[in-house]
Structure 1
Amino acid sequence: MTEKQEKILNAALKLFAEEGFRSTSTSKVAKAAGVSEGLIFRHFTNKEGLLQAIIQMGEERAKELFSDIVLEPDAKELLRKYIELPLKVKNDKEALEFWKLQFKIKWELELYGEHKMIVIEEALIRAFDQLRYNEPEKEANLLLTLMDGLATRGILQETYELDEATKFIKQKYKV
């Protein structure tokens, strides 16, 4: 990806999150990125193509976040890493801002992207199976749901005690 494409995507992500996808014009994105509107069309075809590129960017970053977790061979360590993921994001200002903007766009457009969670779900099922939980699939689904809510709340609510919630969940799973 070129530097200009990156500038366009970052400007679009920020504007779509702040003003809404439907309310943001490509000309406004171009102005914020310091490029011509034609360059946006050349690289992304249209506003929907720009949105798809932003979503893809989020999926790539999610893969990066998940890679260390899914490759972890030790079941307890895998669970610990997954449970601490929202803290890792919250403590990285650039990552926090990126995910805040991604969440806002997904809420506005009612997009979830559950397919990106399959690899984590499979890793959690394996971990719970190794730890001999009675119903590893249900336990994995419960933890996915719990962490999704925790991440959302931790990212969007500045005063939320994410440290305490994380500590409690780690105690629950003995990791």
Structure 2
Amino acid sequence: MTEKQEKILNAALALFAEEGYRSTSTSKVAKRAEVSEGLIFRHFGNKEGLLQAIIQLGEEQASVLFADIITETDPREVIKKFIEMISKTSQDEESIVFWKLQFKIKWELEMYGEHKTEAVEQVLIKAFTELRYLQPEKEANLLLTLMDGLATRFILQKSFDLDGTIEFLKQKYKV
């Protein structure tokens, strides 16, 4: 990706979060990125192409986050790493902003993108199965839902005790 493409994506991500996807024009994105509107069309086709590039960027970053979990073979470590994953993203301000914007776009456009978590869900099901949980699929789904909720609370509620909640979950699952 070129420096200009990166500037365009960052500007679009910020504007989509600030003003909403529907209210943001490509001319506003071009002005914020300090590029011509034509450059946006050349690289991304149109506003929808720009949105798809941002969504793709989120999927790539999610894959990076999930990689260590997916390759783990110890079932307790799988669960522990998944629970601790949110801590890794909460340490870096740039990462927090990126995920906040991804969540905002997801809500505005009512796009969940459950395919992003399919691989980690399968690994969690396998871990819960190996640990002999009665309903491994439901445990995996519950943990995915809890982590999604934790991320939302962390992003929206400044006083939320993320570390305490993570420790509680690790104790609950004995990891």
TM-score (norm 1): 0.97
Q: 137-146 vs 39-48, which deviates more?
A: 137-146
User: Which secondary structure state, in structure 1, belongs to the residue aligned with residue 29 of structure 2?
Assistant: helix
User: Which secondary structure state, in structure 2, belongs to the residue aligned with residue 35 of structure 1?
Assistant: coil
Q: How many residues align?
A: 175
Could you tell me which residue of structure 1 aligns to residue 102 of structure 2?
Answer: 102
User: How far is 1:156 from its partner?
Assistant: 2.1
Could you tell me which residue of structure 2 aligns to residue 133 of structure 1?
Answer: 133
Contiguous gaps of at least 5 residues in structure 2 = none
Q: Deviations over 1:115-171 (max 9, x none)?
A: 111011001001111111111111111111111111111122221111111111110
User: How far is 1:52 from its partner?
Assistant: 0.6
Q: Distance in 1 between matches of 2:73 and 2:154?
A: 27
Could you tell me which residue of structure 2 aligns to residue 166 of structure 1?
Answer: 166
Counterpart residue type for residue 90 of structure 2? K
Identity score, percent: 71
Could you tell me which residue of structure 2 aligns to residue 116 of structure 1?
Answer: 116
Q: Distance in 2 between matches of 1:84 and 1:155?
A: 16
Q: Deviations over 1:66-90 (max 9, x none)?
A: 0011111111111111001112111
1:76 and 2:66 equivalent? no
Counterpart residue type for residue 144 of structure 2? L
Q: Distance in 1 between matches of 2:137 and 2:28?
A: 46
Could you tell me which residue of structure 2 aligns to residue 148 of structure 1?
Answer: 148
Q: Which runs of 4+ in 1 moved over 6 A?
A: none
Contiguous gaps of at least 5 residues in structure 1 = none
Q: Distance in 1 between matches of 2:155 and 2:90?
A: 7
Q: Distance in 2 between matches of 1:151 and 1:21?
A: 21
User: How far is 1:94 from its partner?
Assistant: 1.2
User: Which secondary structure state, in structure 2, belongs to the residue aligned with residue 80 of structure 1?
Assistant: helix
- RMSD (Å), alpha carbons: 0.8
Could you tell me which residue of structure 1 aligns to residue 63 of structure 2?
Answer: 63
Q: 152-161 vs 16-25, which deviates more?
A: 152-161
